[in-house]
């Protein structure tokens, strides 16, 4: 139950990546900020799930009011720092910028937000209401819980976050691509949330170290931000040796485990067509794996991953095989050496295709934590394993249990988790103040 000794190992694959969108220096930030039109009723704002007042924070960079700029961001989004680097801005704020519609380069909102956050993020920017004496337990220290807890302490409540991992941060710590946001930055953001007054206990698993009943007894309300389960390896032929790994597990190793390496990997295949698959192929190619393929069971046009990320993957040399699935794995001395693909179409679009492969990463989705969630009385999951809650207040079937983030929305982005966590905090506040 260590609280303080959060350290990320120094030697790990993640450390070798460069930022795809490097930090602005002050001069660059000013130049870019001056380009922003400071639109009225700006379309970039509603495109942000946390509705950050983008024109205002950018204008404040221009007037050299950096603390004010950071305040404007944090007032809407306590995780403004990680969001500035991990958000798919191409389909969110920057995609909606008036410049985009005009056929010009949009304002680099994400990088400006990063500049404001790295220059001026500080706990004294935000007001804190008088203590209420209410205590809330939050399960999981991912973006959803952190945003929720940070908002709750500002409202005067006590918030205690329980995380089963040794390190806090959820998928920001273990999952997001290292060329976007690295573990040290996640720790810095967690420290910021802690400096607001949130207590974070790592190495504590709810359901094992504490039961659902215990939490409900000791706390006035509970927030479930447990995210999704481990990689699903459904549909992958029998595994008889090393060389096959789930995508989330592989990324976690790359980000945090010094033992993870790509030495000797010549041919990697990633199964899946979502953003996790697109991240993994780019990571592998950037790490120097000579041949990286992604294999998708449907057509490229049906891929759920973002088109801009697919383009990025193409640019680093990734090749894609569509309408295909691994039908047979080939082993030698307990190691994977090849994969035989077969067509998913009928009639088959190609005869079976044998490909050399020494690393097969499976990115076909994550499981659900239904068992854990349903230990809380009256809390239910829907058919696809998502926690059922009222969309505005995020209250579950149990009036004292709230939720948000991947376990509720089925797996979206950090910014959605943050928005939902903050929304739940407001509903919890309302509930507790009614007493």
Partner 1 sequence: MPDLSIDFAGIRSPNPFWLASAPPTNSGDQIMRAFDAGWGGAVWKTLGTPIINVSSRLGSVDLGDRRMMGLNNIELITDRPLDVNLREIAEVKKKYPHHAVIVSLMFDTPEEWADILKRCEDTGCDGVELNFGCPHGMCERGMGSAVGQEPKVLTELVKWVMDSTTLPVIAKLTPNVSEIVDPALAAQAGGAHAVSLINTIKSVVGVDLDRLVPVPRVNDASSHGGYCGPAVKPIALRMVAELFRQPDFSLPISGIGGISSWRDAAEFIALGAGSVQVCTAVMHHGYRIVEDMIEGLDEYLVSKNMSSVQELVGAANAGFREWGELDLNYHVVAKIDEAKCIGCNLCHVACWDGAHQCIHMPGTAAIEGHVAPMAATAKKRAFEAASLIASGRTDVEPYRVPWVDETECVGCNLCWLVCPVSGCIEMVEQRRAPETDTWNDRVREGRDFVPGGLKDI
Ligand X SMILES: Cc1cc2nc3c(=O)[nH]c(=O)nc-3n(C[C@H](O)[C@H](O)[C@H](O)COP(=O)(O)OP(=O)(O)OC[C@H]3O[C@@H](n4cnc5c(N)ncnc54)[C@H](O)[C@@H]3O)c2cc1C
Select the residue interacting with partner 1 from 60, 180, 194, 293 (CB under 8 A): 60
Q: Are strands 319-321 and 335-343 parallel, antiparallel or unpaired?
A: unpaired
> Is the separation of the CB atoms in 139 and 162 below 8 Å?
yes
From the CB of 112, what's the least distance to ligand SF4, in Å? Answer: 8
Select the residue interacting with ligand SF4 from 13, 33, 44, 161 (CB under 6 A): 44
- Return the one option of ligand SF4, ligand X, partner 1, none that residue 147 interacts with (CB less than 5 to 8 A, by type): none
Q: How far is the C-alpha of 321 from the C-alpha of 302, rounded, in Å? A: 13
Q: How far is the C-alpha of 203 from the C-alpha of 383, rounded, in Å? A: 30
Residue 63 binds partner 1 (CB under 8 A): yes
The DSSP output letter for 410 is: S
Residue 246 binds ligand SF4 (CB under 6 A): no
Residue 139 binds ligand X (CB under 6 A): yes
Residue 255 binds ligand X (CB under 6 A): no
Judged by CB, which is closer to ligand SF4: 38, or 350?
Answer: 38
In sequence order, the 6+-apart residues with CB closer than 8 A to the CB of 209 are: 1, 162
- Return the one option of partner 1, ligand SF4, ligand X, none that residue 175 interacts with (CB less than 5 to 8 A, by type): ligand X
> Is the separation of the CB atoms in 219 and 135 below 8 Å?
yes
> Which residues pair with residue 244 across a beta bridge?
360
Q: Locate tokens 């479930």: which residue?
A: 224
> Is the separation of the CB atoms in 193 and 78 below 8 Å?
yes
Select the residue interacting with ligand X from 413, 423, 429, 432 (CB under 6 A): 413
Residue 37 binds ligand SF4 (CB under 6 A): yes
Tell me if residue 266 falls in helix, strand or coil. Answer: coil
What kind and span of H or E run contains 150?
A: helix 143-154
From the CB of 25, what's the least distance to partner 1, in Å? Answer: 8
Q: Tell me the per-residue interface mask from 102 to 131 with ligand SF4, x by CB under 6 A, - otherwise.
A: -----x-x----------------------
Helices (H) and strands (E) in the chain, counts: 17, 13
Judged by CB, which is closer to ligand X: 161, or 341?
Answer: 161
Residue 272 binds ligand X (CB under 6 A): no
> Is the separation of the CB atoms in 160 and 194 below 8 Å?
no
Select the residue interacting with ligand SF4 from 99, 210, 306, 331 (CB under 6 A): 99
Select the residue interacting with ligand SF4 from 79, 97, 177, 221 (CB under 6 A): 97
Judged by CB, which is closer to ligand SF4: 113, or 291?
Answer: 113
- Return the one option of partner 1, ligand X, ligand SF4, none that residue 75 interacts with (CB less than 5 to 8 A, by type): none
Closest CA to 110 of 414, 434, 423: 414
Residues that bind ligand SF4 (CB under 6 A): 36-39, 42-44, 54-55, 58, 97-99, 107, 109
């Amino acid at each position: 139950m260590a609280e303080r000794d959060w350290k990320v190992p120094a030697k790990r694959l993640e450390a070798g990546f460069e930022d795809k969108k490097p930090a602005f220096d002050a001069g660059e930030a000013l130049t870019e900020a001056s380009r922003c039109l400071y639109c009225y009723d700006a379309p970039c704002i509603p495109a942000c799930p946390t509705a950050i007042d983008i024109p205002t924070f950018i204008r404040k960079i221009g007037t050299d009011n950096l603390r004010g700029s950071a305040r404007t961001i944090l007032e809407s989004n306590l995780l403004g720092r990680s969001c500035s680097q991990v958000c798919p801005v191409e389909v969110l704020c920057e995609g909606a910028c008036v410049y985009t519609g005009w056929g010009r380069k949009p304002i680099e909102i994400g990088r400006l937000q990063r500049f404001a956050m790295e220059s001026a993020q500080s706990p004294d920017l935000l007001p804190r209401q008088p203590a209420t004496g209410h205590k809330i337990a939050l399960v999981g220290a991912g973006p959803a819980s952190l945003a929720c807890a940070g908002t709750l302490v500002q409202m005067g409540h006590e918030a205690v976050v329980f995380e089963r991992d040794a390190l806090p941060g959820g998928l920001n710590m273990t999952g997001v691509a290292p060329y976007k946001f690295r573990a040290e930055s996640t720790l810095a953001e967690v420290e910021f949330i802690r400096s607001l007054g949130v207590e974070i206990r790592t190495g504590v698993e709810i359901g094992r170290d504490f039961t659902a009943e215990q939490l409900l007894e000791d706390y006035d309300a509970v927030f479930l931000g447990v995210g999704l389960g481990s990689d699903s390896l459904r549909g992958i032929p029998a595994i008889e040796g090393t060389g096959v790994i789930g995508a989330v597990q592989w990324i976690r190793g790359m980000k945090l485990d010094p033992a993870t390496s790509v030495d000797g990997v010549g041919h990697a295949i990633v199964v899946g067509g979502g953003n996790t698959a697109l991240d993994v192929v780019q990571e592998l190619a950037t790490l120097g794996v000579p041949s990286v393929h992604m294999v998708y069971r449907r057509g490229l046009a049906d891929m759920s991953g973002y088109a801009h990320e697919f383009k990025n993957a193409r640019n680093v040399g990734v090749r894609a095989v569509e309408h295909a699935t691994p039908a047979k794995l080939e082993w030698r001395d307990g190691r994977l050496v090849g994969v035989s693909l077969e067509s998913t179409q009928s009639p088959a679009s190609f005869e079976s295709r044998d490909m050399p492969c020494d690393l097969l990463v499976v990115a076909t989705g994550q499981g659900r934590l239904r068992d854990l969630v349903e230990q809380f009385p009256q809390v239910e999951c829907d058919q696809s394993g998502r926690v059922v809650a009222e969309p505005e207040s995020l209250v579950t079937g149990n009036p004292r249990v709230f939720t948000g983030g991947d376990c509720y929305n089925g797996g979206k982005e950090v910014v959605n988790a943050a928005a939902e966590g903050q929304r739940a905090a407001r509903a919890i506040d309302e509930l507790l103040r009614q007493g």
